[in-house]
């Protein structure tokens, strides 16, 4: 029986709150705080059991500290944006509370995500006897757990990993992103990157493609991208020789993105507009559909997994571990599309692992450093069944 504080009442945060509210044996008290109180109020009325709410600006450590002291949770689930990771981690350290998030820190003024900023908190969390769980969404998150599970049960050594992410959903809009538009566009427009034999190799944005046969979806063209779990898995999967990340995009998405980019609408450099400073990408976010509103109209499936090759008992082995998730089924359950669902459910499960003592430790941890078995069991029990295919 534990109290949880969720910060961020957006598309994915709403799923976390609704899933926690369905599991009161573990989450006995749930408090949601976010920048815009009306979003918390709306979420409160949609949860199946009572939750409490408040307003917070999580950029301000002092506000988060006060909030934590008032709510007195055992863990903070950070479902705000990557920009708030460090201020929330600082508040957890001051107040002595465990921390969990789904995306690594990124400064607002530079489109560059990387784990080092949060790995630098290792000693401080250790000294305080606290646990920080990084990246407990789907990718990163479940994909890291898939790799740890493969290493534990299927391989003596893993040589290559290809993480393949397909959202084959159709939301009915000419252009929309399936999670926070600002974060999504910053991620997609940066240079591609993969890791091979200890080196990072960079590629021009979306310039390398390959077709993969996605389970329950079919063959789709995917684009090589940099993604945050590459950094931690390259460090933690012993003997790994290469790791890459691939994501599918529809032609319509890419055409719109090309135009927006070429006219400067995806820039994060502030410009002067009628005497007011605005950031073009933030303005673009304001006019695009809110990802939380896409659930009702989205049909089709996501299919995300890891193609893993290595050695077992002296023989070569290749497997594909994946989950496929149906947008409409997610909407029926929690009024969200599958991208928010596949992010929110693992965040809830990560918190569950900590609160039930199945995952223990002090310091800052990536998901693959924990025992994957109880997490894999919980995935199937809470709406994200997974499959292993020998290739
Ligand atoms: P949304 O924009 O829908 O939600 C973000 C929420 O955080 C909003 O409610 C927003 O408030 C709130 N917020 C923003 N800034 C602050 C602040 N300073 N103080 C308090 N609250 C704040 O985004 P998503 O739900 O799509 O994404 C949430 C997180 O999940 C992101 O970090 C994203 O990168 C991550 N993610 C991870 C994935 C994974 O698989 N690992 C996949 C998809 C997303 P307001 O309503 O006022 O804007």
Tell me the mean pLDDT in the region 156-181: 92
> Which pLDDT score, from 0 to 100, does residue 290 have?
87
Q: Are residues 272 and 284 in the same domain?
A: yes
Residue 237 has pLDDT above 80, yes or no: yes
Q: Which two tokens stand for residue 132?
A: 């920080």
Q: Are residues 98 and 228 in the same domain?
A: no
The whole-angstrom separation of Cα 55 and Cα 53 is 7
> Which pLDDT score, from 0 to 100, does residue 204 have?
95
> Which pLDDT score, from 0 to 100, does residue 110 have?
81
Q: Are residues 129 and 151 in the same domain?
A: no
Atom of ligand 1 nearest to the CA of 135: 41
> Which pLDDT score, from 0 to 100, does residue 291 have?
82
Q: Are residues 151 and 128 in the same domain?
A: no
The whole-angstrom separation of Cα 112 and Cα 94 is 27
Q: Are residues 231 and 329 in the same domain?
A: yes
> Which pLDDT score, from 0 to 100, does residue 312 have?
97
pLDDT digits (tens, 9 = 90+) for 3-50: 999 999 999 999 999 999 999 999 999 999 999 999 999 999 999 999
Residue 182 has pLDDT above 80, yes or no: yes
Q: Are residues 205 and 303 in the same domain?
A: yes
Half-sphere exposure at residue 265, Cβ-oriented, CA atoms within 13 angstroms: 13
Tell me the mean pLDDT in the region 177-187: 84
Residue 184 has pLDDT above 80, yes or no: yes
Q: Are residues 146 and 134 in the same domain?
A: no
> Which pLDDT score, from 0 to 100, does residue 86 have?
98
pLDDT digits (tens, 9 = 90+) for 260-303: 999 999 998 999 999 999 999 999 999 998 888 888 889 999 99
- Residue 381 falls within a domain, yes or no? no
140 CB under 6 A from ligand 1? yes
| Residue bearing the CA closest to ligand 1, atom 2 | 180
| Residue bearing the CA closest to ligand 1, atom 11 | 35
Q: 53 in helix, strand or coil?
A: strand
300 CB under 6 A from ligand 1? no
Q: 89 in helix, strand or coil?
A: helix
- Residue 190 falls within a domain, yes or no? yes
Q: Are residues 152 and 48 in the same domain?
A: no
> Which pLDDT score, from 0 to 100, does residue 57 have?
98
pLDDT digits (tens, 9 = 90+) for 338-390: 999 999 999 999 999 999 999 999 999 999 999 999 999 999 999 999 999 99
DSSP one-letter string for 282-335: HHHHHHSPPGGG-GGG-BSEEEEEEEEEEEETTEEEEEEEEEEEEHHHHHHHHS
Q: Are residues 110 and 146 in the same domain?
A: no
- Residue 389 falls within a domain, yes or no? no
pLDDT digits (tens, 9 = 90+) for 98-154: 999 999 999 988 878 889 999 999 999 999 999 999 999 999 999 999 999 999 999
CATH of the domain at 93: 3.40.50.720
- Residue 167 falls within a domain, yes or no? yes
CA of 180 to the centre of ligand 1 (A): 6
Q: What is the mean pLDDT of the chain?
A: 95
Domain coverage including residue 359: 2-138+343-375
- Residue 383 falls within a domain, yes or no? no
103 CB under 6 A from ligand 1? yes
281 CB under 6 A from ligand 1? no
Q: Are residues 128 and 36 in the same domain?
A: yes
pLDDT digits (tens, 9 = 90+) for 80-96: 999 999 999 999 999 99
- Residue 386 falls within a domain, yes or no? no
> Which pLDDT score, from 0 to 100, does residue 338 have?
95
Q: Are residues 328 and 364 in the same domain?
A: no
Greater pLDDT, 75 or 180:
75
| pTM of this structure | 0.94
Q: What percent of the chain has pLDDT over 90?
A: 87
The whole-angstrom separation of Cα 254 and Cα 96 is 45
Q: Are residues 330 and 349 in the same domain?
A: no
The whole-angstrom separation of Cα 257 and Cα 22 is 38
Q: In the chain, how many domains are there?
A: 2
- Residue 168 falls within a domain, yes or no? yes
- Residue 121 falls within a domain, yes or no? yes
Q: 43 in helix, strand or coil?
A: helix
Atom of ligand 1 nearest to the CA of 81: 32
The whole-angstrom separation of Cα 307 and Cα 322 is 9
Are 232 and 218 in contact, with CB atoms under 8 Å apart?
no
CATH of the domain at 175: 3.30.360.10
> Which pLDDT score, from 0 to 100, does residue 292 have?
80
> Which pLDDT score, from 0 to 100, does residue 293 have?
85
């Amino acid at each position: 029986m534990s109290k949880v504080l969720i910060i961020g009442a957006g598309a994915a945060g709403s799923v976390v709150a609704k899933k926690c509210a369905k599991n009161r044996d573990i989450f006995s008290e749930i408090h949601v705080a976010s920048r815009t109180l009306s979003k918390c109020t709306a979420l409160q009325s949609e949860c199946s059991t009572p939750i409490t709410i408040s307003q917070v600006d999580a950029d301000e450590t002092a506000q988060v500290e006060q909030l934590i002291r008032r709510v007195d949770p055992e863990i903070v689930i950070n479902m705000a944006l990557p920009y708030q990771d460090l201020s929330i981690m600082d508040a957890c350290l001051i107040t002595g509370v465990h921390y969990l998030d789904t995306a690594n820190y990124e400064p607002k003024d530079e489109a560059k995500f990387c784990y080092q900023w949060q790995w630098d908190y290792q000693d401080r969390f250790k000294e305080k006897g606290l646990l920080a769980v990084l990246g407990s969404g789907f990718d990163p998150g479940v994909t890291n757990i898939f790799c740890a599970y493969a290493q534990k049960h299927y391989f003596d050594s893993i040589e290559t990993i290809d993480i393949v992410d397909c959202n084959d959903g159709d939301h009915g809009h000419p252009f929309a992103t399936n999670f926070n538009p600002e974060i999504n566009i910053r991620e997609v427009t940066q240079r591609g990157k993969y890791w091979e034999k200890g080196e990072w190799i960079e590629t021009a944005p979306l310039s390398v493609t390959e077709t993969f046969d996605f389970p329950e979806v079919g063959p789709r063209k995917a684009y090589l991208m940099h993604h945050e779990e590459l950094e931690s898995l390259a460090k933690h999967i012993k003997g790994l020789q290469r790791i890459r990340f691939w994501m599918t995009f529809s032609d319509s998405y890419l055409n719109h993105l090309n135009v927006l980019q070429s006219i400067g609408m995806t820039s994060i450099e502030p410009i002067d507009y009628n005497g007011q400073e605005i950031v073009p990408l933030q303005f673009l976010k304001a006019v695009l559909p809110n990802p939380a509103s896409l659930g009702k109209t989205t049909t089709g499936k996501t299919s995300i997994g890891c193609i893993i090759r290595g050695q077992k008992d002296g023989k070569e082995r290749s497997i594909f571990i994946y989950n496929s998730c149906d947008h409409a089924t997610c909407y029926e359950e929690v009024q969200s599309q599958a991208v928010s669902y596949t992010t929110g459910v693992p965040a809830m499960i990560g918190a569950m692992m900590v609160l039930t003592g199945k995952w223990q430790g002090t310091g800052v941890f990536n998901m693959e450093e924990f025992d994957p078995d109880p997490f894999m069991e919980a995935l199937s029990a809470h709406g994200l069944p997974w499959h292993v295919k020998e290739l």
